[in-house]
Amino acid sequence: MEYLPDKNSSYKDVAYWDERYRTEKHYDWLGSFSSFQHLLENVIKKDDSILILGCGNSSLSGDMYNAGYHAITNVDYSSVCISVMSAKYSSSPGMTWHQMDVRQLAFSDASFDVILEKATLDAIMVEEKSPWEVSPETSTFIHQALTEAGNSILNSTGVPLGCVLSLLMYYFYTSNYKATQL
Ligand SMILES: C[S@@+](CC[C@H](N)C(=O)[O-])C[C@H]1O[C@@H](n2cnc3c(N)ncnc32)[C@H](O)[C@@H]1O
């Protein structure tokens, strides 16, 4: 409760996240690695190069690292987050941290085999009533983020060499499925 913003739209603001990460040590949105491990281990190989979008102070990257995934690049637009997390994982070779907006990724083509997001789209879509029908602004934002992600897994001739996995969308689908089974 301590970190609840006055208005939901703050989840879109980097100032909100910077302030939160100054004191919050750790929080895992939607669930931790163990909730998604069965899904991820089916599709991600241990030597894949992985990009995590909007990493926050989640344990996902650290838990994946401990599970044997050692090429993990993390981005978040909060400089406070990146500074805290890069210090925390300074002794994990292969794990890197970059302050970057997901709409303007600075990686060259085909840099990654897998791109993962967990609740980052959620922050972007916070003002929407339904994830299935979003405003033109949110649609543009997500289009920009997915285009950037797409470029990071396409080679120079436009052939996809990797995949983008949304744990948020997986969460929506499985929650909805469980709800309709009750
Ligand atoms: C709801 S939190 C999720 C954090 C983490 N992925 C997790 O699952 O616990 C959303 C995160 O996305 C980051 N974020 C929001 N918009 C972003 C953007 N445009 N570019 C980069 N990071 C962004 C925020 O700073 C925050 O860390």
Question: What confidence tens digit (pLDDT) does each residue in 99-148 have?
Answer: 999 999 999 888 999 999 999 998 988 988 887 888 999 899 888 888 88
Q: Which of 57, 72, 77, 148 to mutate to test the pocket of ligand 1 (most atoms within 8 A of CB)?
A: 77
Q: What is the CA radius of gyration of the chain?
A: 16
- Is a pLDDT exceeding 80 seen at residue 176? no
In the chain, what are the domain boundaries? 8-122+130-181
Q: Is the CB of 55 under 6 A from ligand 1?
A: yes
- Is a pLDDT exceeding 80 seen at residue 95? yes
Residue 64's pLDDT band (cuts 50, 70, 90): very high
Does domain 8-122+130-181 correspond to CATH entry 3.40.50.150?
yes
CA 134 and chain centroid, separation: 19
Q: Is the CB of 141 under 6 A from ligand 1?
A: no
Q: Is the CB of 44 under 6 A from ligand 1?
A: no
CA of 182 to the centre of ligand 1 (A): 32
Dihedrals phi, psi of 31, to nearest 5 degrees? 140, 165
pLDDT at 166: 87
Lowest mean pLDDT among 6-15, 28-37, 140-149: 140-149
- Is a pLDDT exceeding 70 seen at residue 182? no
For the beta carbon of residue 14, count every other beta carbon within 10 angstroms: 15
